[in-house]
Chain A
């Protein structure tokens, strides 16, 4: 196990100390610093202000200034923990932490529930799922008749909405994803295991000395 002497200064000025972020997440200090390399490139892609705007987030996701996307917007809103309209570095690290392969399953289930609870009512409602299905169809240029969409919704709510009150609560969601683990695949990013090799340049900017003990 390593012992870290933080000499946080120029590089992380204005951002949370990587040692603190590492202590509160599944990331090591080096991994937090490597994430900072990624963060810097995203946050400076349109305006170099050290913060990620929604436009910069979409540009990083789609590699072009694509039109608004419901799902990207929703992810952005969830990453924007402090609801400031921008993502700062601690939001970025703490949110990506949920996507770490080692993050607790419960955290992934909670995050995915929030993702689909578009109106933040504490329930995933049928009209929200329909809205997301329609958005997916637009995005993929796939066409389905409204009747087919309703059939898919009927089947989904029959399986997931155990008490048949027309909405999926947290406990029903928990049971549903436990039976359908593939639904949580989007909640794990294997890339996060290799972040220091993907962004090796962090070593040139590292402000933390690791001292083996």
Chain B
């Protein structure tokens, strides 16, 4: 999907910094 067709928040939510799941990975 070309980023231009996505809304800004969809893109931002892909940030690694927002993926708190990694806190639980040992």
Question: A interface vs B, CB < 8 Å?
Answer: 38, 42, 60-63, 69-75, 99, 115-116, 129, 132-133, 135-136, 139-140, 142, 144, 148, 151-153, 155-156, 159-160, 180, 182-183, 185-186, 189, 191, 195, 198
Q: Is B12 an interface residue (CB 8 A)?
A: yes
28 interchain pairs (CB within 8 A)?
A: A60-B22, A61-B17, A61-B22, A62-B22, A74-B17, A116-B9, A116-B12, A129-B8, A132-B8, A132-B12, A133-B8, A136-B11, A136-B14, A139-B16, A139-B17, A140-B14, A144-B3, A152-B3, A152-B7, A156-B7, A156-B8, A160-B7, A183-B9, A183-B10, A186-B19, A189-B24, A191-B24, A195-B24
Q: Is B23 an interface residue (CB 8 A)?
A: yes
Closest Cβ of chain A: how far from B4's Cβ, in Å? Answer: 6
Rounded to whole angstroms, the CA-CA distance of A114 and B1 in the bound complex is: 28
| Majority SS at the chain A contact face | helix
Additional 15 contacts, C-beta under 8 A, given A156-B8, A186-B18, A189-B21: A38-B23, A61-B22, A62-B16, A69-B15, A73-B17, A133-B12, A136-B12, A142-B3, A144-B3, A155-B4, A159-B7, A160-B9, A180-B10, A186-B13, A189-B24
A75 touches B7 (CB 8 A): no
Taking a contact as CB atoms closer than 8 A, the residue among A139, A140, A153 that contacts B8 in the complex is A153
Question: B interface vs A, CB < 8 Å?
Answer: 3-4, 6-26
B10 touches A75 (CB 8 A): no
B23 touches A60 (CB 8 A): yes
Rounded to whole angstroms, the CA-CA distance of A195 and B23 in the bound complex is: 12
Across the interface, which residues of A come within 8 angstroms of B18, CB to CB? 71, 75, 115, 186
A38 touches B24 (CB 8 A): yes
Across the interface, which residues of A come within 8 angstroms of B10, CB to CB? 180, 182-183
Rounded to whole angstroms, the CA-CA distance of A170 and B19 in the bound complex is: 23
Rounded to whole angstroms, the CA-CA distance of A198 and B26 in the bound complex is: 9
Across the interface, which residues of B come within 8 angstroms of A69, CB to CB? 15-17
Rounded to whole angstroms, the CA-CA distance of A139 and B11 in the bound complex is: 12
Rounded to whole angstroms, the CA-CA distance of A60 and B24 in the bound complex is: 9
